[in-house]
Amino acid sequence: HDKTNIRDLFHQAARYGRPVEHAHEGHVLYVEDSPTVARVMTRILEGMGLEVAHFRSASAALTAFDEGTWDLVLSDILVEGDISGMGLVSRLRHRFPDKTSLPIVAMSGLDDPNRRAELFRLGVNDFVTKPVLEDEVRARIGNLLANKRLLEEVQSQRQKLYDMAMIDPLTGLRNRNVLAECAARFFTEANQKDMALSLILLDIDHFKQINDSHGHLVGDEVLVGIGELLRTTGREVDVALRFGGEEFLLVLPECDLFDAHTRAEELRQQLRELQPAGLTITASFGVTSRPCGREIDMNDLFRVADQAVYQAKSEGRDCVVS
Ligand code: GH3
Ligand code: MG
Ligand code: MG
Ligand code: MG
Ligand code: MG
């Protein structure tokens, strides 16, 4: 805030005997065909700390809506042009149904209760009459923006919790907690449509020795390298998980046993050449596929992959068993 702004705010606070409002942040898409009203409203909104993009017609606002990101829409209802304020509200709400994330405020000099009801049915969050009472419009818009900010905080906390629960902090791969999600996503569809689906399970060979001879930090570096190999190779649709300590799982939708085996062989070779932390690392691979014409769940398929890894270990390690 510059000096004038701060003086204004304190002046206001003194006038009303209450604390200074917090400044808001955000972009307002504002539709108003009267230049005089637009000037007054823009001053009010900018006084709240908001950035205002003013449009004289609904169609211009619709185009701008698609090109920018907006925190609030404020629209006059009787506007010039082929789309009315009503039409604008209905289109915007259709494109953006989440009312808290995109508050829409309707504004009109004509306060007909039936039309007001219709506006709320179309999805406006609030309605203000013209001429505006500055304090009221500030408070109403402030409330909507505060709700939006609160929702954003909740959503970002939820994302953080999800990441903490589902993402392995060492390798950045998803962990076994996402298996249930994968199963729901891939197995249901594969079973319904009788589609191919494969798993590759790999277990690093003699990893305990790497830790014992070079220390756990070097061991960690090896795991990070393998994580990166799994994340950056293969198809976009594949899901790579760190299943446990030194065990990784690839879920390969629409991939049959032959292709999965080929992929595992490629990985085995790539891993040998990777030299994470300057060490030659190998792993044992178990590959399995969903049998045609039979329903199978993640656990069944995983058990088979696990047995294949066990067999690869007993066959001398650094090999693929399917
Ligand atoms: P095998 O070839 O039979 O699989 O032998 P292995 O030594 O790889 O298997 P084992 O199950 O005996 O040992 C796995 C080791 O992996 C033991 C454990 O300390 C290590 N490990 C598990 N998680 C981590 C980790 O996050 N970091 C490091 N550095 N080591 C880990
Ligand atoms: Mg108008
Ligand atoms: Mg193991
Ligand atoms: Mg083991
Ligand atoms: Mg191992």
pLDDT one-digit tens code per residue, 79-98: 988 899 999 999 999 999 99
C-alpha 204 to ligand 1 mean position (Å): 8
User: Which ligand neighbours the alpha carbon of 314 most closely?
Assistant: 1
Q: How many degrees, rounded to 5, is the angle at CA 20 between CA 15 and CA 24?
A: 130
Pairing between β-strand 283-289 and β-strand 197-204 as defined by DSSP bridges: antiparallel
Q: Is 234 in the pocket of ligand 1 (CB under 6 A)?
A: no
Q: Whose CA is nearest to atom 21 of ligand 1?
A: 245
Quote the tokens at residue 19. Answer: 């604390």
Pairing between β-strand 239-242 and β-strand 247-253 as defined by DSSP bridges: antiparallel
Q: Is 94 in the pocket of ligand 1 (CB under 6 A)?
A: no
**pLDDT at res. 14:** 64
- The whole-angstrom separation of Cα 159 and Cα 121 is 31
Average pLDDT over residues 244-264: 97
**pLDDT at res. 22:** 65
Quote the tokens at residue 4. Answer: 């004038």
The least confident of 13-17, 243-247, 277-281 is 13-17
Q: Is 246 a catalytic residue?
A: yes
* Band (21; pLDDT cuts 50, 70, 90): low
Evaluate whether ipTM surpasses 0.90.
Answer: yes
How crowded is residue 67: how many other Cβ atoms within 10 Å of its Cβ? 6
Residue of 246, 248, 318 best suited for mutating to test ligand 1, as the one with most atoms within 8 Å of CB:
246
* Region at 287 (left for phi over 0; alpha for psi -120 to 50; beta for the rest): beta
The pLDDT mean for the chain works out to 93
**pLDDT at res. 110:** 86
Q: How many degrees, rounded to 5, is the angle at CA 243 between CA 241 and CA 244?
A: 140
Give the active site residue among 32, 221, 246, 247: 246
Q: Whose CA is nearest to atom 24 of ligand 1?
A: 245
* Band (1; pLDDT cuts 50, 70, 90): very low
State what percent of residues in the chain have pLDDT above 70. 94
- The whole-angstrom separation of Cα 123 and Cα 214 is 63
Q: Is 247 in the pocket of ligand 1 (CB under 6 A)?
A: no
